[in-house]
Structure 1
Amino acid sequence: MGALPKPDVPPGAQRDLVDALHDLHHRAGWPSLRTLAREAGCSHTTVSAVFSSPRLPSWGTLELLVEAMHGETHHFHDLWLAAGTPAEAQPPITARIVGRRDELATVVDHLVTGSGLLVVAGEAGIGKTRLVTTAVALTPRDNFVAAGSALPLSSEVPLLPVTDALRAVHESDDGRWLEKALSQTAPYVAGSLSLLVPELAQWEAPEPGDEWARRRLFAAVGTALRHLSAERGLALLIEDLHWADTATLDLLEHLVNRDPAVPIVGTWRLDDPNVERPNAEWFNRIRRIPAVTTLTLTPLNHDETRDQFTLLTGQVPGTAFVDSIHQRTQGHPLFTEQLSAYGDSDRPLPSLLVDLLDARLGDLAGPAWSAARALGVADRPLNGPLLTEVTGLTDADLGTGLHDLDARRLLTPSSGHEAALRHPLLAEAVRRRLVPGESDDVHRRLATALGELENAEAAEVAVHWRAAGDTRKELAWLVRAAEQAARRMAFVQEAEHWLRVLEIMPDHDPEASITRPAALIAAAEANERSGAEDAALTLLEEGLSRGDAATAHERFDLMARSAAYIWGQRGPAEALDMLDRAVGQLEQDPPPGVVARTLPLRANLLAAAGRFDETVQHLDLAIDLGRRLDDRDLMADALSCKVWHVGVAGDLESSLECVAETRRLRAGSWPPGREVGLAMMHTDVLLIHARPATEVEAAGSRALALIREHDLHHTQGMMVRSNVAQALLEAGEVRRAAALVSHAGEGLQYSTWPVDLLAAQVQLLEGRPEKSLVTLERRRQRDALADFSFAVPAAEAWIWLGDPGRAWERLRPTLEELGTGQAGRFAARPFVVAARAVADLVDGGSGRSGAATWLATLRTLRSHAAVDPLGPGRVPGIRPAATATWQAELGRVDGSATVPLWVAAAAEWDRLVRPHDAAYCRWRAAQVALASGQATAAAKLLRRAARDAREHVPLLEAIRDTQR
């Protein structure tokens, strides 16, 4: 059966119900009247009347039919209630939308029963806000929609939309709902939320310098939403995400990636050239997440344009007029709306929306223009007192002006005590009309008025002072804005504010609230907390080159902080030189506390330079000074460092004693950041000593839980993840290792290099050596500290790609650099892989004639290393197995390899529970056995190798090729 006849009812709520019912009939496959009657348990005549009669059907019958067609009964119940409500009693918003029936149903359904993020997208003025606000009005009363909106200034004000949404929840019942939800959560949740909701000030907020605070805040929002939704239906609506600050976007991405407990709806303006690049990249990235759906709005059709004009004017336009309007507007709702208010004058209708909006404002004057100018420059809603102060109008004149704007349909429908222009495009039109200099006074008045508010957004006030040309006042508010962003853990915005401070502050200003060196350090720390450690170093070095520091202590602070960044990005020698020069800035006898602050960093730098005896001496001195100064943090830092250094020296027992002592020292007061730092040292030592993967996992489990909870992205957190993943990888558990580094490749911040390294190894073992090389090579020349580690998997990838020559080229410079320093003690693996590359080269081309030259090259490189990586020693723990494999690989080069030689190497790897390394050795033993006619022994070796090579795709394929 096809479509059923529609009743002739005027535009309005009943028309919406009729259209929705017929659309549902279409989607259900046009079932016949008798089929529907049988399913609903009524006569086919009754069914026909419901579809075709202009009378409103009973809800009972309608409900049965909707259920029979598998429709959403709650949505139709809302439409039925609206259709039965007198027009004057209907909410204005539900009566002033046409078309969009499917889109409206989608948004309502998502707000009530959906999950993840629904992004309503469309060009400016297409009706995104009208659609979502209508959907909110149609949600059941027991389903609360917490709404927030990004403003053009939101990129300066961190987490403003989220703050508005949470405060809406708090204000819905004077905080009872929120208080009850928070009472069921860990204390940090309420403390973190107090950063956004001042009404929660009774809970202690985290310190801005806490590197965990941002992730803890994100986790707190998700936890609070989960507990709130357990008490009552809840959804989030965040409008104008294209204007949102990066912290808001990061938070939404965090929630969506973790299956938020509440549905989220957002709106996004398409084809806007003014959208910031990070926002555009976020929009492209977020749409690839399975939990995100995009609903793109298209223009209204001819009939919908007619219905919109009828609703706006109360008159049904003629066909010719509708043709003219629709041709001019192309179905753009905002254009139609403004044309409907254009008047009956004989002036020609504008052909473009921008011309129309300019014309709509062209004859504004007096109080109406003053109010429109204030709202356009503010680009946000303003209440009566603020408008009075900004415009300078009396209450009476302001009221007259606002009534005039409302009559012209230039204001949004009533939204409480605030007034706002109907659309951002109108605000743009207002600003286009301003003559040079006219906006300065408005910005100045806005900055003054907004700055006097109790919860003033400092960044917004600073923007207005900047537009007014008053950089001194802008500077004062920028410092507050940076501090406010830090409290909200919006470190990207904090860094941007500090950069602007540095840009506009005078070189010497005794009245300034902050010195340039202090601002430099604050900017560097904000960049570090946001993961941009390279930018932090650049800032400090530029400051030092300018001579910004006025005192020796200020230069000391700049240089000491620079040394920490230099170590990771350029190596320990340059960092140690910078630290020495920093201390040289001070007097000959600097305060003990200042010296103590440098000792853990100096110890690490000395160790990296190979001066291990001095390393432990410095750490012991730091521990002693910390005890004398009663500085438990200094003692804990020094002990954590000592965990690593004595462990690397070969004393595992003393290293583990340091772990225990550190935990005793901080029992009951151990901050999450220090837990991760200790876990980084602990797991690294266990890896160096080749301890079982289960032991490494146990050492990192507490830190991993914190990292997952707070989605931590700083270097120490990445190191813990990569250490545990490395242990799993070596134990043959590739899939579990991959889960720990699954986000690798999202950026090239310095902090992500450890998981990038592990991700490349996972890609290789999964049988994707080309992808592995891409991941590794994108890091070349960027991370000097990591290049040594990156060379080995890169060489292995080239070997599995059948190009051992490229593998040798990649490894040889690394091996040649081992003549100085202590890095050679950790180079067992590089030497084994280099020997394998050489053996493959001999097998594949140069033959035995070149074997002697290759052997001499390998042995020379080994002899030139400052510390023999394959000689006697307690660390690394793989020395015996690596040495046995090295000897077997050299046997491949000179033709002396035997089955027992390879089997002995496999047994050493078995002892360490390294199945992939053992499988490789047995595969090579099987090849020797086959070449010497030992088919039975070869088959046995290959079966064991295949079993151990599970999850190592290239090796398993090579073993199976040999079995054939």
Structure 2
Amino acid sequence: MGGVPLIGRDDELAELALAIRDEHRHVLVTGEVGIGKTRLVTQAAQVARDEGAVVVEASCLPLDVRLPLLPVIEVLRSLDRALGREVLAALPLYALDELARLVPEVIGRQAGPDALPAGEWQRQRLFAAVGLVLTHIAGSRPVVVVIEDIHWADAATLDLLTYLRASSGGSITLIATCRSDEAPLDPPVARWVEQARRPETVRLELAGLSRAAIAELAEQTLDSPPPESVVEELHRRTEGNPYFAEELIAAAVVASHGGPGVALTRQPPRVLAELLVARSRRVSDTARAVLAVLAVAGRSVPEIVVARATGMAAADVTCAMHELVDARLATPDSVRPELGCRTRHALLAEAVAGDLLADERRAAHAGIAAAFAATNDPALSAEIAGHWSAAGRPRDEFGSLLEAAEHSHRLHAYTQAADLWHRAADIAESLPDVARTANVEPGWLRIRTIDALQACGRDVDAEALIEQTYATYRDSPSDTLTAAVLHRAAWHRGVAAQRETPSDTAYALFEEARRIHEMLPESPEYARLLADHARCMWTDSSDRNSEPIYRKALAVAERCGATLQTAHALTGLAAIALLHGEPSHGFALFDRARDLAGRHSGPSLHVEAMTATHHSDALLKSGQLAEAERIALEGLDRVRWAGAASRYPGGILRGNAAESLLERGLIDAAARLVADVHDRRPKRDDWNLHLLQAQVEICRGATESAVARARAVDLLGLAGPRMWVYERARFLPKVALWAGDPAAALDRVERALEVLGGCSVELYCGELFALGARAVADLADTARARRDGAAERAALTGAERLAAALDLMGSRPLTDHRFLAAVPGDRADWQAELLRLRGVRDPDAWAEAAAVWQRLGRPHRMAYAWWRQAEALLARSRNPMTASGTLQAAAEAANGMAPLTANIRRLARRSRISIRPVSFEPPPATDDPYGLTQRERQVLRLLAQGCTNAQIGGELFMSPKTASVHVSNILRKLNVVNRAEAAAVGERARLTGPDS
């Protein structure tokens, strides 16, 4: 443990240091092997040395024959090395004679013959001599005696320690360490440890490190933050044991061969496994057989199950369990004792299971599976299937998989259900006789897997399986199965596939599936097919031609009593009603759909998430920002409950809530919603969160990061239906504009308009035209400043192209709409930017735009318009005071938007306008809004005072490297890029005050 940093032991170190300062006579530090006893006492000893104490350390050794007083001899030799022989000058002659028996090389002579008859008085004289040495030194300086591994101590050493504790005077502290997992202890050691339970003894029983401390240990070992999944697995398997954790990390580093990322090995490294297995070999054969079952089970197992799995008598199992508990190899379940015992920790189970021969391990798995199956508990079916699989018996596994999948489905555990059905499908296809015996069609297992994957938001996984299933079951003799396969393939190719527009083959597949269903009785599956067909059309074109298909889906669903499909159809009809001018009817349909989806007892997550997504998106577009956030977060709570918050539906809902917050200028709150994507590259199912994170980075002035993130989203090669193109296109030009690249922004706008024109999606494009106008105006401003006529003409030509595109759309994107609330603001921006393009500074045009955005509650858009209005006022007047109030209002509204604030302040400085400091009301204090630990909040407080890592370490008694790790964790949790920004966020969140 010498190389392991002292992490997560601040409280224990403080308690030990206090015990030394208070001159306690006895401190006992206990804990299992590797828990950090040596590192703790070594650190405390060094602190004591630094404060002027004399510290001597010795260890007991695991010898077959215990040499008497071996650690005491080492203590005396350490004193000689530390102080020299002058310490002996004041000792009486008898003491020197006695010490010469132990360390003649220190005394300088051999012990003389005993002058008196042998007896217990000799032990007393020897003990007194040792005590005199320590007391003599302690008269002038504190003395700390550390004896490690007392569990291996001989009886004489134990007696001497007891004597010193009871009789020595002066400032002497005795510190002993003892393994709590060394069982059974020798009787003298056990008695001595029991006697140490007296009140004056300080007992430190070291438990495993916290999850946060294990994360810090891993980060220091790897020199970079480990993935959360690695930390979680590391803490689970080691239960916080730092030595075990370090060994697993080291093995993972070796296994990675220096490549990117670190994954823990499935088996513990050899050195660690040998250490753990060696302890298991000290118990009887019966206990080892029981331990093997516990290890293979990997969890608490009742005695009756162990008895069935091993074939032992119940009484023998009970005795073996007691032996394992006494040997610290097993522990009773602390929460539910009726569940029996488990291995001491996960690594012990892995080591013991790994030590079994392959046939022994398979037999153990089969015995456990049969024993659990005998309990007739459906909740155990997935576990039983896993044991049959490990036993290499797929035929037995198949039935358990089906039962487990159905059970998981009933509990809405769709992720687990999908994995179970997928495995069952693999077995059914590889062993057709097993499927026939169970009367199960493998193709339907694939369909159920696909539906479960979509229900829990694993759309990317579902897409790959859809294509595999289509290739295999496209020509199934079963019409219903063929229709289901065609339906899933049509949806994938129409909406989920990466194409510029849905392929014609998607609509052909939908039509083919519909023809099959029209020859069959109406069913919920038919209603779902119709709703998906309509949704595919709507997502690509927002065309009202999808309405009759939605209405037919609704009628079929209602006739079949299919609540979920009814909600699906209502959601689509709501979107149609809204876009085509019936907002009150549309939102009423949304409310009805949400109510139906929420009351459904089946696999409703997919439709619930879809309804909440469309509803919150509609509220965003209608300008009801706070309500949009509420609906999105309610939907997010639902998918989080189902374990799908990190999947695609959860990402869309988080994105809608974050967009609402960004539009209202609440940057920190939006940042918290998308913080988990800060340190990872975009994927197909989280690109929207990355684009929102790029907006956060723009607001915070991290322009380069925002541009790199937007470029990474571009490199995904996403296209898909036109509604998805629109959702990406409206964010990307903003990044380019605030990064000072209007040419790139214009290019993005024009490419998007080319794809989006010619269908009802163009109604949403008002913001794109406003952004395009801003881009050409910026280009023209720069060209005029450089007297570059060609560049100015190019900017004017770009504006003409935008105007032509708007004409092709019949000016619909900038025509007032009963549903699209932002159209008046986009139109005002478009008109004002076109005036700026031509060099006309019109403050009234910008005042009109600011008034619209103020009414809509969009502070940053309002601030931009006021900035441009002030700019126009200053261009028309020589009196800067004409723009003073406007510029002050812009500064206040732009709070939280770093590049806009910088532009406003630059304009103020150029015009010699004084802007008052912007007051900012901090949000209400919360207990821990960012998940900071108490230690991290202490570090943040010092960081906010401008302290360096070395100064933080000195103030909080930690090394500069540990302080650096804390600072890195704080930056990650606050989702900021530097210390100054962390201090600002901490101050606003009231995390840096004296009571933090």
TM tier, shorter chain?
0.5 to 0.7
- Alpha-carbon RMSD: 6.0
CA distance 1:417–1:904, change in 2 (3 Å): closer
Summarize the Cα distance change of 1:594–1:848 in structure 2 as closer, same or farther, 3 Å threshold: closer
User: 1:820 touches 1:866 (CA, 8 Å); kept in 2?
Assistant: no
Tell me what 2:764 maps to. 826
**In the alignment, what sits opposite 2:425?**
502
Q: Which residue of the partner structure matches residue 528 of structure 1?
A: 454
Q: Which residue of 2 aligns with 1:552?
A: 479
How far residue 704 of structure 1 moved from its aligned partner, in angstroms, is: 5.7
Measured after TM superposition, the shift of residue 640 of structure 1 is 3.3
Confirm whether residue 949 of structure 1 aligns to residue 894 of structure 2: yes
Structure-2 separation of matches of 1:384 and 1:704? 42
Partner amino acid, structure 2, of 1:683: S
Deviation string, structure 1 residues 222-263 (Cα, Å, up to 9, x no partner): xxxxxxxxxxxxxx99545799xxxxxxxxxxxxxxxxxxxx
SS of the residue corresponding to residue 740 of structure 2 reads coil
In the TM superposition, 1:436-585 aligns within 5 A as: 448=370, 451-455=373-377, 457-458=380-381, 461-462=384-385, 465-466=388-389, 469-483=392-406, 494-506=417-429, 508-509=432-433, 510-512=436-438, 514-547=440-473, 549-570=476-497, 575-585=506-516
Q: Deviations over 1:426-448 (max 9, x none)?
A: 543442xx6xx787777666655
Q: Quick one: structure 1 residues 567 and 49, their matched pair in 2 at CA, closer, same or farther if it must change by over 3 Å? A: same
Whole-Å separation in 2 of the counterparts to 1:544 and 1:536? 12
For the pair shown, which has the larger CA radius of gyration, 1 or 2?
Answer: 2
Higher relative contact order (CA 8 A, sep 6+): 1
**Alpha-carbon distance in structure 2 between the residues aligned to 1:340 and 1:620:** 68
| CA 517–837 in structure 1, closer or farther in 2 if over 3 Å, else same | same
For 2:239 and 2:261, the matched residues in 1 are separated by 10
Q: After the TM superposition, which of the residue ranges 844-853 and 824-833 deviates more from structure 2?
A: 844-853
Letter in 2 for 1:821: C
SS in 2 for 1:784: coil
Aligned partners of 2:799, 2:897: CA distance in 1, in Å? 29
Correspondence for 1:735: 668
Instruction: Give the 3-state SS of the residue equivalent to 2:818 in structure 1.
Output: coil
Closer, same or farther: CA 914–544 of 1 in aligned 2, 3 Å: same
Q: Percent identity?
A: 22
The answer for the alignment partner of 1:650 in structure 2 is: 581
Q: Secondary structure at the match of 1:527?
A: helix
Q: Counterpart amino acid of 2:857?
A: V
CA contact (8 A) 1:616 1:642 kept: yes
1:663-709, CA deviations, whole angstroms, 9 ceiling, x for partnerless residues? 77789879995665544333322222224x34434555654665677
TM-score, normalization by structure 2: 0.59
Using a 3 Å threshold, how does the CA distance of structure 1 residues 371 and 615 change in structure 2: closer, same or farther? closer
Q: Which residue of 2 aligns with 1:878?
A: 822
Cα distance in 2 for partners of 1:885, 1:581 equals 47
Shift of 1:425: 3.8
Q: Does the 8 A contact of 1:242 with 1:269 survive in 2?
A: no
Partner of 2:613: 680
Matches within 5 A, 1:80-95: 87=187, 90=190
Question: After alignment, is 465-474 or 786-795 more displaced?
Answer: 465-474
SS across alignment from 1:743? helix
Q: CA deviation at 1:334?
A: 5.1
Alpha-carbon contact 2:293-2:364 (below 8 Å) kept? yes
CA distance in 2, matches of 1:616, 1:645: 7
Greater Cα shift, 719-728 or 791-800 = 719-728
Do the aligned partners of 1:241 and 1:268 also contact (CA within 8 Å) in 2?
no
User: 2: CA distance between counterparts of 1:885 and 1:941?
Assistant: 17
Alignment of 1:417-432 (within 5 A): 424-425=350-351, 427-431=353-357
**Post-superposition offset of 1:551:** 0.9
Note closer, same or farther for the CA distance 1:776–1:447 as it changes in structure 2 (3 Å cut): same
1:724 partnered with 2:657:
yes
Question: In the alignment, is the contact (CA less than 8 A) between 2:851 and 2:862 conserved in 1?
Answer: yes
Given that 1:242 and 1:275 are in contact with CA atoms closer than 8 Å, whether structure 2 keeps it comes out as no
Q: Is the 8 A contact 2:281 2:288 kept in 1?
A: no
What letter is aligned with 1:650? G
| Stretch of structure 1 that moved more, 778-787 or 761-770 | 778-787
Residue 916 of structure 1 deviates from its aligned partner by 1.6
Shift in CA distance, 664/555, structure 1 to aligned 2, threshold 3 Å: closer
Distance 2:279 2:597 in 1: 70
Shift of 1:953: 0.9
The equivalent residue for 1:766 is 700
Q: Which residue of 1 aligns with 2:10?
A: none
What is the SS of the residue equivalent to 2:676? coil
Paired residue secondary structure (2:514): helix
Q: Distance in 1 between matches of 2:401 and 2:341?
A: 29
Q: Tell me which of 931, 937, 958 is aligned to 2:875.
A: 931
Please list every run of 5 or more consecutive structure 2 residues that lacks an aligned counterpart in the other structure. 1-16, 55-137, 147-158, 196-200, 219-229, 333-339, 784-789, 910-996
Distance in 2, matches of 1:681 and 1:928, equals 40
User: 2:833 is matched with which residue?
Assistant: 889
1:325-360 deviation digits (Å, cap 9, x = unpaired): xxxx99x79559949989xxxxxxxxxxxxxxxxx9
Question: Does the 8 A contact of 2:366 with 2:388 survive in 1?
Answer: yes
- Which digits, 9 at most, give the CA deviation of each residue in 1:828-878, with x for residues without a partner? 111111121122222224443334422322222222337731235334222
SS at structure 2 position matched to 1:877: coil
Please give the alpha-carbon distance, in whole angstroms, between the structure 2 residues aligned to 1:945 and 1:412. Answer: 68
Instruction: Quote how far apart the aligned CAs of 1:520 are.
Output: 0.8
Quote the offset at 1:920 in angstroms: 1.5
Tell me what 2:628 maps to: 696
Contact 1:411 1:422 in 2 (8 A): no
- Say how many residue pairs are matched: 730
Structure 2 residue 919 is matched with structure 1 residue 958: no
Give SS of 2:398's match: helix
Aligned pair 1:784/2:720, yes or no? Answer: yes
Cα 1:544/1:643, change in 2 over 3 Å: same
CA gap 1:557/1:102 in 2 versus in 1, 3 angstroms: farther
How far the C-alpha of 1:764 sits from its partner, in A, is 1.7
Deviates more, 1:833-842 or 1:381-390: 381-390
Compared with structure 1, are the counterparts of its residues 886 and 32 closer, same or farther at alpha carbon in structure 2 (3 Å cutoff)? closer
SS at structure 1 position matched to 2:545: helix
- Alpha-carbon distance in 2 for matches of 1:9, 1:855: 81
Name the CA distance, whole Å, in 2 between partners of 1:708 and 1:417.
Answer: 32
Deviations 1:361-415 (A, max 9, x none): xxx9x9999999989988889888878877789999x99x999x99xx9994798
Paired with 1:428 and 1:852, the residues of 2 have a C-alpha distance of: 74
Q: How does 1:182-221 map to 2 (within 5 A)?
A: none
Name the counterpart of 1:909: 853
Aligned residue type for 1:558 = V
Supply the AA of the counterpart residue of 1:805.
A
Q: Counterpart in 1 of 2:924? A: none
8 Å contact 2:640–2:650 — kept in the other structure? no
- Shift of the 898–482 alpha-carbon distance from structure 1 to 2, 3 Å rule, reads same
Q: CA 1:9–1:370 in structure 2 vs 1: closer, same or farther (change >3 Å)?
A: closer
Offset from partner CA, 1:182-206 (integer Å, 9 cap, x none):
xxxxxxxxxxxxxxxxxxxxxxxxx
2:832 counterpart letter in structure 1: A
Q: Residue 151 of structure 1 corresponds to which residue in structure 2? A: none
**Does residue 865 in structure 1 map to residue 809 in structure 2?**
yes
